[in-house]
Structure 1
Amino acid sequence: MLKRPGRGSSDSLSDKLYKHRSLLLLVSVPLLLLTMVFYVMPSQTPIQIHSSKTSYAVIFDAGSSGSRVHVFCFDHNLNLLPIGKDLELFLQTKPGLSSYASNPRSAALSLSDLLHKAEAAVPKDLRPFTPVRVGATAGLRALGVDASNRILQAVRDLLKQSSSLSSQPDAVTVIDGTQEGSFQWVTINYLLGNLGKEYSDTVGVVDLGGGSVQMAYAISEADAAKAPKLSDGEDIYVRKMSLKGTNYNLYVHSYLHYGLLAARAEILKVSEDSGNPCILEGYNGSYNYGGESFKASSSGSSIDGCRRVATKALKVNEDTCTHMKCTFGGVWNGGGGDGQRNLFVASFFFDRAAEAGFVNAKEPVAKVHPGDFEEAAKRACQTKLEDAKSTYPHVDKDNLPYLCMDLVYQYTLLVDGFGIDPWQEITLVKKVKYNNALVEAAWPLGSAIEAVSSLN
């Protein structure tokens, strides 16, 4: 028997909508909100997707001898990506910021061309998200607080007015020596693929700049626990670092006044106003550094005489060591160990070795011994200034009078200062091979890794 249709079956559509109005409202409001979100998202999506794949960093190394800019590009795993045909953009100019002590604006403008070229290497949509750092090193440290602060503020103003890169006020600063040394250690071990390994599988680094020299190497927990306690205001000896899931105790110390250019002044101070045995015979002039002028005339260059003067300048024989083991000037040496077994020596060490002719300047890496610097020094110290240009055609004329001094100092620093055996093999490094490309072995890459990591 058929049932008669009920009255509800004849409800109109409008009646049904009215009857279920609460349910419809509950469903439609979230849908409306989702629609609005998707409508707004497209304008932001390209930047979010792009920046999650690649990140850039622009790092200025404002050293005492010149200013250099490095531009790096990383993928999301912090692997370097090419910029054009190379794995970094690297440009430089001379002189350094410290040469403009009395003219901060000119100091800042000396970076202008480097800044524009570096910015052009970064995709336009990523520039607001790309950190730019300016790390001034020993040259500005030597100027004093007032002069260096005026220069740094002029550089901050330049970045703010002339660049769309992401610049924070504290990203333009004089980096302390321990930062410089630790960044250099990170750079070289990153490029060698050592980060994430045991500390004993990393390499130690000595970086000889113009105004300061840094030593850095990973040490054991036991040696880190023995680190001397320093007074307030002094750099700590051990920096704790966590890199690629591995914790490191990094011994690092920076010796201000003992970079290659600053050490010349220290060596000339020893002889005061008399002739100096480290100056090539035939030269009589003056040496300007850090706003001071020093008499630089030869007393007849002699490797033995120069060694005595260099050792005195380094304060090697002064009984100022209050720790178990010291380098020079009473500085704790970190205890030695496996992290120092393989030593990579950078910057002016490579440059002078190439100019003196005992390594190939076209090769980025060379295996040598500290004793090779002494052998090269013997030859240089016997050369008169008038013959030096033809004997050493690749040495800048301003550096020629000091070639004996530089080579003797480098040998003395390694052997007497740092206690390295004269015939221990060390690696002179200019660039490091990374993914079939060559990358500058300098601290800015370590700074870039930290800058990009802090964004994530």
Structure 2
Amino acid sequence: MERDLVLYASLVLLLVPHVAGGIVLGRKAAAGGGVRGETESYAVIFDAGSTGSRVHVFRFDENMNLVNIGDDIELYVAVKPGLSSYADDPQEAANSLIPLLEEAESVVPEELQPTTPVRLGATAGLRNLGDEKSEEILQAVRDLLQTNSSLEYESEWVTVLEGYQEGSYLWVAMNYLLGNLGNKYSDTVGVVDLGGGSVQMAYAVSEEAAANAPNISNGDDPYVTKQLLNETNYYLYAYSYLNFGLLAARAEILEAVDDPYSYCMLGGYTGTYEYNGEVYNASASPSGSSYNKCRTEAIKTLKINETCTYEDCSFGGVWSGGGGDGQKNIYVASFFYDRAAQVGFIDPEEPSALVTPSDFEEAAKTACNLSLEEANVTYPNVAADDLPYICMDLAYEYTLLVNGFGLEPSQEITLVSKVKYGDSYVGAAWPLGSAIEVVSSQSTQSLAMKKIRPLWLQW
């Protein structure tokens, strides 16, 4: 078997066309409209998140560079709420995707639809529903795609993502967009993705560090996987912390306090918080919010002091990957970017910004000194539903970065919502990584006919 794989890999490399001028895959000089031909490929990826469902459509040329779909580098459409909101009505959950499916099919040429893969990856929202209810929803989605779509579909392409997949897909997407794939691992960037239900950390480690990764129990996600990307082997540490996304963490913090109120809630607020079908008391203390006391609540929630059997730990007894050069440059996405932009310590018009964890601390201290009424004036860009939690959210984000992931308060990190690619900007999200994987897999299966250069080979 091993000899056959080596021969297959050799054949692939012989058939792969070498690109003149040393073009690095993923950094096309100008992401133009391109000319439709036999070597172009599309991929349709549904992101079924805890707060909503989104569809991404990507178009690749023969060298696995992204090219425009009309005037944009990708099609992106979103709806709310997410699939997990239809826990008792799987059919309605599937039906909520119909507008997204119709939009996706409208931009894929009709003759390419039968060979255009459609995938759906569900994340923390469905993970939290439990196996039975989540599977009922996924089956309804499979039935919808099988009967209502002309796109290429396989049952296993509609699934709840394993935690490490979500992190590794984002890592691939980010390093693809930055032109890092093919470089040594120390020249790649690590990623942190703070969603609603979970938070992911992913970065490349040395072969030696990978060899020393802890053994895992049967059925658990591996800490490190080996990936062959742009003809370069990477050992990728990726871990997803379920229930430590921003919205889930609110519930954890509110549940962990001993008092009938929380020092993380802005003064003057009385109410409840609902998450994953559970209701929590979310009233402020009589004296209002307190940054120091809120930090204490956040640290308690992260289980910083939980017993860890490994040499290097993050929080909750989880192996951290050991750090190293692959983690020296960190790109931080999703709710980290959103809250920073909403409270104003980064420019919401810019797709990325260099900050430090200390910026979150300073923003949290400011927010925690305000009453709800004062915050309403200070933060006009924060949604009304989120405003009572702004002290909690910022304090938690700082605690997660410093106490959870072990970053220095002064370490520079890049907050990112989009990455510049040619003349366009592409969203910093895991679906691009999934698209690269499925298109590369197809290209290796029919390489002699399609002549598509594989970016991600896996065997």
Query: Partner residue of 1:344?
Result: 331
In the TM superposition, what are the counterparts of 1:110-121 in structure 2 within 5 Å?
110-121=96-107
The residue aligned with 2:387 is 400
153, 163, 180: which one aligns with 1:177:
163
SS in 2 for 1:288: strand
1:379 is the counterpart of 2:366 = yes
User: Which of 321, 340, 353 is matched with 1:334 structurally?
Assistant: 321
Alpha-carbon distance between aligned partners in 2 of 1:166 and 1:353, rounded to the nearest angstrom: 39
Structure 1 residue matching 2:255: 3-state secondary structure: helix
> Partners in 2 of 1:363 and 1:79 — Cα distance?
24
Query: Across the two proteins, how many residue pairs are aligned to each other?
Result: 407
Equivalent in 227, 239, 243 of residue 257 of structure 1:
243
Instruction: State how far apart, in whole Å, the 2-side matches of 1:110 and 1:390 are.
Output: 36
Q: Could you say which residue in structure 2 is the equivalent of 1:42?
A: none
Counterpart Cα distance in 2 of 1:52 and 1:237:
39
Deviation at 1:387, TM superposition (A): 2.3
Question: What SS does structure 2 have at the residue aligned with 1:207?
Answer: strand
What SS does the aligned partner of 1:213 have?
Answer: strand
Q: Find the counterpart in structure 2 of residue 279 from structure 1.
A: 265
Cα offset, 1:274, TM superposition = 1.1
Instruction: Name the structure 1 match of 2:410.
Output: 423
Q: Could you tell me the percent identity over the aligned residues?
A: 63
Tell me the amino acid that sits aligned with residue 322 of structure 1. T
Corresponding residue SS for 1:254: strand
Q: In 1, Cα distance between the equivalents of 2:64 and 2:258?
A: 51
Aligned runs of 1:34-45 on 2, under 5 Å? none
TM-score (norm 2): 0.87
Unmatched 5+ stretches in structure 1? 1-48
Task: Verify: 1:242 aligned to 2:228, yes or no.
Answer: yes
What SS does the aligned partner of 1:294 have?
Answer: strand
* Closer/same/farther in 2, CA of residues 148 and 379 from structure 1, 3 Å limit: same
Larger helix share, 1 or 2: 1
**C-alpha separation between the residues in 2 aligned to 1:142 and 1:387?**
35
Aligned to 1:367: 354
Q: Which runs of 5+ in 2 are unaligned?
A: 1-34, 444-459
Opposite residue 101 of structure 2, the aligned amino acid is L
Report how far residue 291 of structure 1 moved.
1.2
1:362 is aligned with what amino acid?
E
Shift of 1:272: 5.2
- Tell me how far apart the structure 2 counterparts of residues 68 and 241 of structure 1 sit (CA, whole Å): 27
Aligned twin of 2:214: 228
Contact (CA 8 Å) 1:273, 1:295: kept in 2 or not?
A: no
Q: Which amino acid aligns with 2:324?
A: G
Question: Shift of the alpha carbon at 1:317?
Answer: 2.3
The answer (yes or no) to whether the contact 1:51–1:126 under 8 Å persists in 2 is: no
Whether 2:124 is the aligned partner of 1:138: answer: yes
- State the SS of the aligned residue for 1:173: strand
Q: Distance in 2 between matches of 1:171 and 1:389?
A: 44
In structure 2, C-alpha distance between the alignment counterparts of 1:173 and 1:455, rounded to whole Å: 19
Aligned partner of 1:98: which letter?
S
CA distance in 1, matches of 2:124, 2:259: 26
Any idea what the Cα deviations from partners look like across 1:379-405, whole Å, max 9, x if unmatched?
111111122222111111111111111
Residue 96 of structure 1: how far off its partner (Å): 0.7
Whether 1:434 aligns to 2:425 is: no
Partner of residue 316 from structure 1, selected from 304, 307, 313: 304
Match of 1:214 in 2: 200
Please point out which of 192, 200, 206 is paired with 2:178: 192
Structure 1 ranges of 4+ moved more than 3 A: 49-52
Deviations 1:77-104 (A, max 9, x none): 1110101111101111111111111111
CA distance in 1, matches of 2:55, 2:348: 22
Q: How does 1:133-172 map onto structure 2 within 5 Å?
A: 133-172=119-158
Question: Are 1:305 and 2:293 matched, yes or no?
Answer: yes
**TM-score, reference length from structure 1:** 0.88
Higher relative contact order (CA 8 A, sep 6+): 2
CA RMSD of aligned residues (A): 1.1
- Distance across 2 between alignment mates of 1:253 and 1:52: 38
AA of the residue aligned to 1:446: G
Distance 1:51 1:246 in 2: 28
Task: For residue 231 of structure 1, give the secondary structure of its aligned residue in structure 2.
Answer: coil
Indicate whether 1:66 and 2:27 are aligned. no
The alignment partner of 1:53 has SS state of coil
Aligned pair partner of 1:356 in 336, 343, 352: 343
